Chain A
Amino acid sequence: MMMQKCSLVASLGLKHSSRISITPVRLLSTSKVINSDKEDSKPPINYEKLSRRDYRYIFPEFLPDPNPQFRNTFCEKLQRRDMITRRDKIEIPEFYVGSSMAVTVSDSCSPHPNKLSRFVGMCIDRGGSGLQAWFILRNVVESQGVEFMYQMYSPTVAKIEVLRLEKRMDDELYYLRDAPQEYSTIPFDMEPEILPEESPVPVNKTIVKLNPRPWLRNWEQMTGFLHGLEITDAWTTPGKIRRQERAFAEGSLQWHQQTLQFDLMRDYRNTIPVEEQDQLWEEVGEKLEDRDKQMRKVAAKRAFVRPVKKL
């Protein structure tokens, strides 16, 4: 197992969540009302509420499954309580699909005396809502592709670190399985990279050139909504071109899938309305912000106490 180099940055314990300020946007003046010209003006703009709307990107697992068959606001509330309680014990940082992360889990079979196991990889997918939130890390170990799925709120997860916070062109990177291994390799001794405060999340616009066919999935059919991949071998014979055209003819399944991007009702069904989200963030936003402040204090304290190591 490769030893993690103890760098200043890592020892300071600075986390990537410090990059984004989840403190509400504050006005220069202390008053909240802006448009005080008119008597019967609109209700004062709640900047706290508006800034908390971005939490759906930082904490997507707090949003419930939009399927109405499973919706129950009381159950979701109870789950959120447990999630907040767990977040008090472990730092679950902000991350996106494409970020490089390191997860340390308690493993009874680990050869180390502390019975911990560390895995570094790129997040290729994340999902689940509530306590069932999960994410998948992919890496290449001794030229063997390896993927681990982690339950974010499992008590066996001891630590989650984001080594490089970034986004990719797509929300799922399963095509890395059909790409050269170089695209999936993350060095195990990678050090965390700190981004400046309140900077936007960088988007990695790497285009992944896929291996020649055969593939695990028919990626050529997904080029409409997967933008981060490039198909190098054409594999088009006149017969296949004709078949492709026929497949996309009006009224076919492929044609219908192309129109899905314009289906507003489908989008509505698959999302939680903004009004409900506002209520949700009102409920948990303060606790999350308090926790963030707490973690910053701890990091600052550690930075003060720890001596600077000479490299």
Chain B
Amino acid sequence: MLKFQRCGTGLVSTFSHEFLNIPRVGIHTTTTVNSRIKKVVRHKPMWHIKKLNKAEDEPITGENRGFVQELLADKYSGPLKAELAPWNRGSWEPWTRRCGVLGVKIGAQPLWLKDGRLIMTTLLHVVDNHVVKFTPRGEYDGSYIGEKDLRPCYTGPGRRKRANISGMMVVGSHSTDPQKYTKDYCGLFTESGLMPKRHLARFPVTENAVIQPGTALTASHFTVGQWVDVFGRTQERGFQGVMKRWGFKGMPDTHGVTKSHRRPGCIGSGNDKARVFPGQKMPGNVGGGYTWNCGLRVWRINHAESVLYVTGVSVQGKVGSVVQICDTRIPGHRWEALGHGPQRFPTTYGDEADLPEEEYHELIHQFSEPSISYS
């Protein structure tokens, strides 16, 4: 079962799919009651559309390969499908939810505040993001995932989406060659006319934040000084002992301790229960699970190159990993607490004339300014 603990919101990073006729009977393989303290999810859900398990294509000649490339170039060149009139752009009001983006963690660099303090920042490159699809609420509720939301599990009763959520927006990043993927996966993009995307993410949105599929998203989607939440897969650390995994204190290195410097020690109480309780913290695999990293502040945005600079070096994954970035849900830092919405709502459509190349938060010392002086 797929559950993500994050500030009381519903499921994320799951792709709602209503085309496949998944039988409702016999899907569950585990019980709903689960006493594990730590549950790390590493596998993709079974209802995910098979992406790469395609049958091998029959061999084609070099000329035909070139012809296929030309076909693809013709198909995907030019402006995206804009048959319908562009959708209305809403305006922000409290309790609005808008979509996020997919960014690549490219590295870390220091920035300095105007009072001289150093803050390490992680650079997130928002490249080739497009809105792939918008699934209205009714369709979503009727789908398999929508029904799963209502089912209770060990974390509590069902997690129905809030009433103001009007649907699920799917965002994709990194266009790739459709020849790599299965026909079903490529079929997800035919409606919007986009090239198949390597990564997909799902965001619940309210009505005023709906964006037409095919719209490009960049780092300018965000505002300098706002807080964001980052969702991604943590670095795999392999099989680790209790000290690294659970923070156990271990035992002294000297003073007669025999062969027990990093061991867990006692794992049970004794006669009364005469067993080890389920959920006993023991060594095991660490990392490689999906987590939320909340409350990272955006200090600087490079609008020209579509790069975000967020606080800290805690962004999940190694350099080159793809993460989801969206507005924070932390009570003290969300838009409702700040009293206003983002500068560009629901996103930037490329028609803002006064978008600077680089935008810094007012507390950040810009390198083009003279050295800091306290006199």
**A130 (CB) vs chain B CBs: closest residue:** B109
Select A155's contact among B106, B109, B305, B369, beta carbons within 8 Å. B369
B248 at the interface (CB under 8 A from A): no
Separation in Å of the A74 CB from the closest CB of chain B? Answer: 6
A74 to B104, CA, bound (A): 11
Cβ-based interface call for B52 (8 A): no
Among the stretches B56-64, B110-118, B203-211, the one at the interface with A is: B110-118
What is the bound-complex CA distance between A71 and B107, given in angstroms?
8
CA distance A74 to B320 in the complex (A): 11
CB-defined contacts of A85 to chain B, threshold 8 Å: 367-368
Contact of B371 among A79, A89, A110, A130 (CB under 8 A): A89
Does any Cβ of A come within 8 Å of B156's Cβ? no
- Confirm or deny: A211 has a beta carbon within 8 angstroms of a beta carbon on chain B: no
A86 touches B367 (CB 8 A): yes
A274 within 8 A of B: no
Chain B residues positioned under 8 Å from A155 (CB to CB): 112, 116, 365, 367, 369, 371-372
Query: Cβ of A261: which chain B residues have Cβ within 8 Å of it?
Result: none
Contact bitstring A61-79, B, C-beta under 8 A = 1, else 0: 0000000011110111011
| B87 contacts chain A at the CB level, 8 A cutoff | no
Contact of A106 with B109 in the complex, beta carbons under 8 Å: no
Question: What 0/1 readout, one digit per residue, does chain A (196-214) give for beta carbons within 8 Å of chain B?
Answer: 0000000000000000000
Interface size class of chain A, counting residues whose CB lies under 8 Å from the partner chain: 20 to 34
User: Are B118 and A154 in contact, with the CB atoms below 8 A?
Assistant: yes
Q: Which residues of A (31-75) have their CB < 8 Å from a CB of B?
A: 69-72, 74-75
Whether the pair B107, A107 counts as a contact (CB closer than 8 A) is: no
- Report whether A107 and B374 are in contact in the complex, using a CB–CB cutoff of 8 Å: yes
A101-145 contact mask (Cβ, 8 Å, vs B): 1 or 0: 000001110100111100000000000001110000000000000
B305 A158 Cβ-Cβ under 8 A: no
Partner of A74, one of B125, B369, B370: B125
Are the C-beta atoms of A156 and B371 separated by less than 8 Å?
yes
Scoring A70, A78, A90, A131 by chain B CB atoms within 10 A of each residue's CB, the highest score goes to A78
Contacts of B370 in A (CB 8 A): 89
Within the complex, which residue of B110, B116, B305, B319 is in contact with A156, where a contact is CB–CB below 8 Å?
B116
* Cβ-defined contact, A75 with B109, below 8 A: yes
Shortest A77–chain B CB gap in Å is 9
Q: Are A131 and B116 in contact (CB under 8 A)?
A: no
Q: Is A82 located at the chain interface by the 8 A CB criterion? A: yes
Establish whether residues B369 and A115, one from each chain, have CB atoms under 8 Å apart when the complex forms: no
Please determine whether A106 and B372 come into contact, CB atoms closer than 8 angstroms: yes
Q: Is B182 an interface residue (CB 8 A)?
A: no
Residue of A nearest to B368 (CB): A85
Q: Does B280 contact A (CB under 8 A)?
A: no
Q: Would you call the interface of chain B mostly helix, strand, loop, or mixed?
A: loop
Asked whether any CB of chain A lies closer than 8 Å to the CB of B307, the reply is yes
Contacts of B373 in A (CB 8 A): 106, 114-115, 158
B-contact 0/1 string along A213-249, CB 8 Å cutoff: 0000000000000000000000000000000000000
Contact of B375 among A79, A115, A130 (CB under 8 A): A115
Q: What mask results when residues 212 to 232 of chain B are scored 1 for a CB within 8 Å of chain A, else 0?
A: 000000000000000000000
Instruction: Tell me whether B296 is interfacial, beta carbon within 8 Å.
Output: no
Query: Which of B118, B125, B365, B369 touches A151 (beta carbons < 8 Å)?
Result: B118
C-alpha spacing A107/B318, complex, angstroms: 37
Say yes or no: A115 contacts B374, CB within 8 Å: yes
Question: With A75-B123, A78-B305, A82-B109 given, is the CB distance from A158 to B118 under 8 Å?
Answer: no
Interfacial chain B residues near A74, Cβ < 8 Å: 106, 125, 305
Decide yes or no whether A190 CB sits under 8 A from chain B.
Answer: no
Beta-carbon contacts under 8 Å, B313-348 to A: 318-320
| B residues in contact with A72, CB < 8 Å | 106-107, 319-320
Q: A113 and B375: CB pair below 8 A?
A: yes
Distance in Å from the Cβ of B320 to the closest Cβ of chain A?
7
- Is B302 in contact with chain A by the CB < 8 A criterion? yes
A20 at the interface (CB under 8 A from B): no
Shortest CB distance A84–B (Å):
9
Find out whether the CB atom of B112 lies under 8 angstroms from the CB atom of A70. no
Complex formed: what's the CA distance from A107 to B372 in Å? 10
8 Å CB contacts to B: which residues of A124-179?
Answer: 130-132, 151, 153-158
Q: Which residues of B contact A107 (CB under 8 A)?
A: 374
When the two chains form their complex, are residues A131 and B109 in contact, meaning their CB atoms are under 8 A apart?
Answer: yes
Could you tell me if A78 and B375 are in contact, using CB atoms closer than 8 angstroms? no
Which chain A residues border B125 with CB–CB below 8 Å?
A: 74
A residues less than 8 Å from B319 (CB atoms): 69-72, 75
A-B contact pairs, 17 of them (CB 8 A): A71-B319, A74-B125, A75-B107, A78-B305, A78-B307, A89-B367, A89-B371, A106-B371, A108-B116, A114-B375, A115-B374, A115-B375, A131-B110, A151-B118, A155-B116, A155-B367, A158-B371
A-binding residues in B (CB < 8 A): 106-107, 109-110, 112, 116, 118, 123, 125, 302, 305, 307, 318-320, 365, 367-375
Extra contacts besides A89-B367, A157-B371 (9): CB < 8 Å? A72-B320, A74-B106, A75-B123, A75-B319, A89-B371, A106-B116, A114-B375, A156-B116, A158-B371
